[in-house]
Structure 1
Amino acid sequence: MATQERGNWNSHVGFVLAAAGSAIGLGNLWKFPYITWHNEGGAFVLVYLIAVLAVGLPIMMAEILVGRKTQKSPVGAMADAVGKRWAWVGGVGVFTGFIILGYYSVIAGWTLRYFVKCVGWT
């Protein structure tokens, strides 16, 4: 059986931007101005950035390292990296992705509806 060639990122910048885009997400961009306004702006932004760097960056780096080491799906990566008893953690990650997809679909629908109403196509 022939092995299938895997795709690679063309540049490190492209990978970093894609990882940051998936980590930041639509929810943060949607709620950020509202939360900043109601919490006096500057102090909230400082605490928010510290929290994102302290919590999100190590988690993202751990996911990247496990993925690069195992070169497998999330379930297979957890089974190889930690042990077969931990494969369910990868499954939870996949399930969480589907839940987030449903959330983003609703927000995208609202955005399209407001755009259509704003342009006057109705």
Structure 2
Amino acid sequence: MASESNPSPQPSGERWGSRIGVILAVAGSAVGLGNFLRFPGQAAQNGGGAFMLPYFISLLVLGIPLCWAEWTMGR
């Protein structure tokens, strides 16, 4: 009777596709959405009203697509 060699079992579950994905996920978790949303109010209180227009444009251009991407990856 020949003995069959069993390769070591691979861990089940998903893995990150790349190292940059892990870094971005950790950075996003550390910064949090609260800081991003609280910043416009703080800027307006301290004389940063001229900054608000570019901020909201960047929120629409970057924030909404990034939220959409996060939601689709989470499914």
Q: Which category describes the TM-score, using the shorter chain as reference length?
A: 0.3 to 0.5
Structure whose alpha-carbon radius of gyration is higher: 2
